[in-house]
Amino acid sequence: MAEKLPDPLERLIHELSRLPTIGKKSAQRLAFHLLKAPDQRARELASALVDVRERLRFCRQCGFIAEGDLCSICTDERRDSTLFSVVEEPFDVLALERGGAFKGLYHVLMGRLSPLQGITPDDLQIASLLARIDASKTTESPVREVILATNPNVDGDATALYLSRLITSRGISCTRLGLGLAVGSSLEFADELTLRQALDSRRALEKPMP
């Protein structure tokens, strides 16, 4: 029978293995690395984790990362408030920002539709997206176009199709990222040139209803 590891190490391995893409073996390697690392490095990691939890939150308006109520993008008056890009996760915003081609505002869905995993429209930030679009109609800068930047895979495409019907029914132009992104890929791993090409070649999904 294998000897049981000390409880603090077992707990660390267990918590690390709960992180995305981290399996049991990877968690063990990370845990032993931290155990061998200088004391200060472990304390800095712990401090950084606490700092993130205490100081950061999701933007009340778009869902990106913020230190206050609104993120730096939503409060930037230089951004084009008539143009929205809808993404699945906060890190997708970082991917598009790296490309530097998009100058509008974002809306983070916090996921994508996935019937097999039981993720429905009610589980995503879809109602708040539609509310933002509707509210903009009473301002001097109503939303004129929504770019659906969900990932080019089955669930991402299904999410885009579902959203396009809701958005175009409000008389808003709705487009999808175009050539450049490979089917089954992720915005997170696309390079700057690819994202620029995808934005420049975006295509309309459905004609907006009058």
> pLDDT of the chain along its 210 residues, tens only?
356 889 999 999 999 999 989 999 999 999 999 999 999 999 999 999 999 999 999 999 999 999 999 999 999 999 999 999 999 999 999 989 987 889 999 999 999 999 889 999 999 999 999 999 999 999 999 999 999 999 888 899 999 999 999 999 999 999 987 655 555 556 666 667 667 666 766 777 766 666
What's the rounded Cα separation, in Å, for the pair 193 and 200? 11
Q: Domains (ranges, CATH) in the chain?
A: 7-55 (1.10.8.420), 65-206 (3.40.1360.10)
Helix axes 7-17, 24-36, angle to 10 degrees: 130
Distances 4 to 16, 17, 18, 25, 35 between C-alpha atoms, Å = 18, 17, 20, 16, 16
User: Is-above-0.85 flag for pTM?
Assistant: no
What's the rounded Cα separation, in Å, for the pair 92 and 89? 5
Question: What six digits make up the tokens of 154?
Answer: 């089955």
